[in-house]
Amino acid sequence: MSDDARNLPADELRKTMRRWVTGVSIVASQHDDFRHGMTVNSFVSISLDPPLVTVTLAHGTRTHDLVTGSGHFGVTILEQSQAHLAEVFAGKVPDGGDRFAGVATFTLDSGVPLLEGGLAGLDCQVVHTYDMEHSTLFIGRVQAVRVAEGGEPLVYYNRDWHNLARI
């Protein structure tokens, strides 16, 4: 690794990663009758057998605290028509504290909220965590899934929401 890469400022990496196309998902959890979720693009499948996925959540966020407390998280992969939900769960639209207000949800095994209308919903149990300076990488074993028929994914590129035809 070059000296430049080891000392790379965060804004340079952020600028670089804007060139990476990712899907858009909502990660949510519930603990002690409180639920919360946030928009993430740091969702990755890492193994099919066993079925494992990862999400990375910033320390101090409500969703991070709920996942830590409950040991479960849910991931909804958003459909292209759900950009407004990506905005709400990214905190760009004032939510009065409950981002789920007026949003249709469903649950699978653990009871974590998943959003209706998404391309897929995954119910996950945390099996490992990796704490970093400002965030935690959660590895979750997928316990249950619901996959929609049809639809196109919402994608994120260069700080904006897109559909596949516009990229």
In this structure, is residue 53 part of a structural domain? Answer: yes
In this structure, is residue 3 part of a structural domain? Answer: no
- Residue 152's CATH number: 2.30.110.10
Please name the residue that has the structure tokens 């516009």.
166
Confidence check: pLDDT of 96 > 90: no
Compute the Cα dihedral for 57, 159, 17, 25 and give only its sign. Answer: positive
In this structure, is residue 154 part of a structural domain? Answer: yes
**pTM assigned to the model:** 0.89
Residue 142, domain extent: 21-166
In this structure, is residue 14 part of a structural domain? Answer: no
**142: CB partners within 8 A, 6+ apart:** 51, 52, 53, 122, 123, 124
CB-facing half-sphere around the CA of 146: CA atoms within 13 A: 17
In this structure, is residue 157 part of a structural domain? Answer: yes
Query: What pLDDT is recorded for position 87?
Result: 92
Give 36-87 pLDDT, tens digit per residue: 999 998 899 999 999 999 999 999 999 999 999 999 999 999 999 999 999 9
In this structure, is residue 86 part of a structural domain? Answer: yes
Confidence check: pLDDT of 149 > 70: yes
**Number of folded domains that form the chain:** 1
Give the whole-angstrom CA distance, residue 56 versus residue 40: 8
Q: Of 3-17, 71-85, 123-137, which gets the smallest average pLDDT?
A: 3-17
Please name the residue that has the structure tokens 């789920």.
100
In this structure, is residue 11 part of a structural domain? Answer: no
For residue 121, the SS3 value is strand
* Terminal alpha carbon distance of the chain: 32
In this structure, is residue 5 part of a structural domain? Answer: no
Amino acid sitting at position 159? R
